[in-house]
Homo-oligomer: A and B are copies of this chain.
Amino acid sequence: MAHLTFGAGIWAFGRIVDRYATDGYGPERSTAGMLELAAQVDGLEYLDINHPFAEEDLAPKTVASMLDGLGLKARAVTPHLYTRRFARGAFTNPDPAVRRAAKDRVHAAVEAAAELGAGYVKFWPGQDGFDMPGQADYPRLWELTVEAIRELAAAHPETRFAIEYKPKEPRVQITLGNAATTLLAIGEAGVDNLGIVLDFGHSLMAGEAPAEALQLVHRHGRLESAELNDNWRGWDDDLPVASVHLFETVEFLLALRRIGWDRPVLLDQFPFREDPVEALSHSIRTIRRLDAACERIDLAALGEAQERQDAVAAQRILWSAI
């Protein structure tokens, strides 16, 4: 792509914890500290920033000027809808007060996004779902989900929203678990300013071919953002780009070219045991290298091989480019 630009989730630069290393995989970092690290990643221009910020009393304006001072921009704001209070669901929480609190978080994120000049507010409803057979009234979860996203998108017609789907984690099964289900929910919500963040790794987890899912979402006019990373298919390992799935990543980049993608490509990594600046710089280098390979692919020949379903010929063309 002519002007490939890059962004990342700010969480890559913060302290990551999990249920075992409860003391964290690295030092605690302030918003300023995370942004400074982000600025050291060669090629990184954009950030997806969680809200509320790491420091409760931090004003969006202050963050905006931090970004500005470092030559960074906000690409998205992601409200924390999956912390303790939302453990049994944000939009689908059994308690109406918690559902309201979730919506309030979104309203606040919309304001922050406006001040930061972010392109979209991301819904990541990772606690909305269920854990065991028998536990869920599925139509009820669905209706609460659709109503919430409709209400929120309708309340802020000037704001772009985007749902990042994922099949599981933290909830054992998440309601908006794959591309098509999310498209159906968006269709039912019936609002225009609502799209999808297609995360490569979540797509692998969902049993999709990410390049296929990307084009399905695009076909419905709902592709708001694209995120890259990698995993071993069974779980959201959030590894560096193409560390496992090289050809699927090439295919994904080819699909982005085909649809004329000109917005940033985001990295959603969790460098548990790696230096975040190194891990993200490596991913950007990898994407650039693979994008250069895409440039070398004989698209006409690839198209012909695909048209006649000659899988070996198609693979040969990819191999000769890398």
A3 contacts B by Cβ under 8 Å = no
Q: Which of A55-63, A67-75, A107-115, A128-136 contacts B (4 or more CB under 8 A)?
A: A128-136
User: Whole-angstrom distance between the alpha carbons of A135 and B274 in the complex?
Assistant: 12
Contact A16 B17 (CB under 8 A): no
User: Whole-angstrom distance between the alpha carbons of A18 and B169 in the complex?
Assistant: 9
User: Whole-angstrom distance between the alpha carbons of A305 and B126 in the complex?
Assistant: 21
User: Whole-angstrom distance between the alpha carbons of A66 and B138 in the complex?
Assistant: 42
With A180-B178, A183-B184 in contact, is A315–B135 under 8 Å at CB? Answer: yes
A314 contacts B by Cβ under 8 Å = yes
User: Whole-angstrom distance between the alpha carbons of A237 and B312 in the complex?
Assistant: 15
User: Whole-angstrom distance between the alpha carbons of A151 and B119 in the complex?
Assistant: 41
Contact A83 B142 (CB under 8 A): no
Tally of A interface residues using CB under 8 Å? 100
Contact B233 A233 (CB under 8 A): yes
Scan A223-262; emit 1 where CB is below 8 A from any B CB, else 0: 0000000001111010110011111101100010000000
List chain B residues, Cβ under 8 A from A212.
136, 138
With A83-B22, A133-B244 in contact, is A88–B273 under 8 Å at CB? Answer: yes
User: Whole-angstrom distance between the alpha carbons of A93 and B308 in the complex?
Assistant: 8
Nearest B residue to A220 via CB reads B184
User: Whole-angstrom distance between the alpha carbons of A308 and B87 in the complex?
Assistant: 13
List chain B residues, Cβ under 8 A from A18.
17-19, 169-170
Enumerate chain A interface residues (CB-CB to B < 8 A).
16-26, 82-84, 86-89, 93-94, 126-127, 130-140, 142, 167-170, 172-173, 177-181, 183-184, 187, 206-207, 209, 211-212, 215-216, 219-220, 232-235, 237, 239-240, 243-248, 250-251, 255, 270, 272-275, 278-279, 282, 286, 289, 302-303, 305-312, 314-319, 322
Extra contacts, 4 of them, besides A16-B19, A178-B181 (Cβ < 8 A), are: A133-B247, A134-B250, A135-B305, A286-B319
27 residue pairs bridging A and B, Cβ less than 8 Å apart: A17-B18, A17-B22, A18-B18, A19-B270, A20-B169, A21-B86, A21-B127, A24-B84, A87-B273, A94-B307, A130-B309, A133-B315, A134-B247, A134-B311, A134-B318, A135-B309, A135-B310, A136-B209, A136-B212, A138-B255, A139-B219, A142-B216, A167-B207, A172-B235, A184-B184, A273-B311, A322-B322
